[in-house]
Amino acid sequence: MKYTDTHAHIYSKKYDDDRSDVIRVAVENGVEKIYMPNIDVESIDVMLEAELKYPGVCIPMMGLHPCDVKKDFRKQLYVMEEWIEKREFAAIGETGLDLYWDKTFFEQQKEALRIQITWAKKKKWPIVLHCRESMDETIAIIKEEKTEDLKGIFHCFSGSVEQARQIIEMGFLLGIGGVSTYKNGGLDKVLPELGLEHLVLETDGPYLAPIPYRGKRNSPEYIPLIAQRVGDLTESSLEKISTITQKNAHSIFHHFKS
């Protein structure tokens, strides 16, 4: 079985002691590619180092995470825009909205998201969206900004069937991760209502580890556990989950030679 982890912060300091081992085990478990979302200006260099050290496996995106939108967000976006003009990335992201941690800069988050949507449309690259406690607000902005060229992933999807259908109608995919394995995660009621053609797999490592590792560091090597859970909830074989989610991941990202 082959898999893609469409969202993992493998460059995080939490992997500094054993990053090579984590990636080796993930590859042994069938994970062919690990897509890396950028979060701020400081994460760019370490992310690109991972790309260089693990070519063809660790693939970078470029974006400003909503939790990192502060007073200086325009300066950060200026640096990132310079990067996307001088080289290619698999996607714009991760960007989006977050109303869970801190609402202080919510208006700035919305402005930063709209700027990054402009980049995605200009480059015809997908956009990877963070929408914690802000699913409806993120959907509303994407609906306003939607054009034929705008596509992407609602990462770490944990919304309702109705929200999922709105996202699918806009041509976006749903990133399904460790939350799908949680008893009260809610996806046990949602995933059976959706087609596999709308799903991609992710870990969001080092965060949101699946059962039985909940509360510990998450890792791309756990993608098969998430695949199994999706298979159980949709009454699909692992072979089918692998085939369809691989096809979806391949079709959504921008491909380039690094």
Cα separations in angstroms, 47 against 8, 18, 32, 81, 213: 11, 16, 18, 16, 25
Tell me the H-state helices in the chain: 19-28, 43-53, 73-86, 106-123, 135-145, 161-169, 187-190, 223-234, 238-252
The total number of structural domains that make up the chain: 1
Q: Residue 165, SS3?
A: helix
Give the model's pLDDT for residue 189. 96
CATH code of the domain containing 34: 3.20.20.140
d(CA 154, CA 136): 12
d(CA 43, CA 136): 28
Query: Residues with Cβ < 8 Å from 202, sequence gap 6 or more?
Result: 5, 6, 7, 8, 155, 156, 175, 176, 177, 223, 226
Give the model's pLDDT for residue 258. 72
The one-letter amino acid at 175? G
Chain-centre distance for alpha carbon 105 = 22
| Residue 46 structural domain | 3-252
How many CA atoms lie within 13 Å of 107's alpha carbon, on the beta-carbon side?
Answer: 1
Quick check: is 107 in a domain? Answer: yes
d(CA 123, CA 229): 35
Quick check: is 52 in a domain? Answer: yes
Helical pair 135-145 and 161-169, crossing angle rounded to 10 deg: 20
Q: H or E element: which one contains 32? A: strand 31-36
Backbone dihedral angles phi then psi of residue 149, each to the nearest 5 degrees: -85, -10
Quick check: is 258 in a domain? Answer: no
Angle at 131 between CA 174 and CA 172, to 5 degrees: 30
Give the model's pLDDT for residue 66. 98
Quick check: is 186 in a domain? Answer: yes
Give the model's pLDDT for residue 105. 96
How many CA atoms lie within 13 Å of 141's alpha carbon, on the beta-carbon side?
Answer: 23
Q: What is the pTM of this model?
A: 0.98
Quick check: is 257 in a domain? Answer: no
Give the model's pLDDT for residue 225. 98
d(CA 64, CA 72): 11
The rounded average pLDDT for each run of 10 residues, N- to C-terminus, in the chain (258 residues) is 98 98 98 98 98 98 98 97 98 97 93 98 98 97 96 97 98 98 96 97 98 98 98 98 98 93
Quick check: is 29 in a domain? Answer: yes
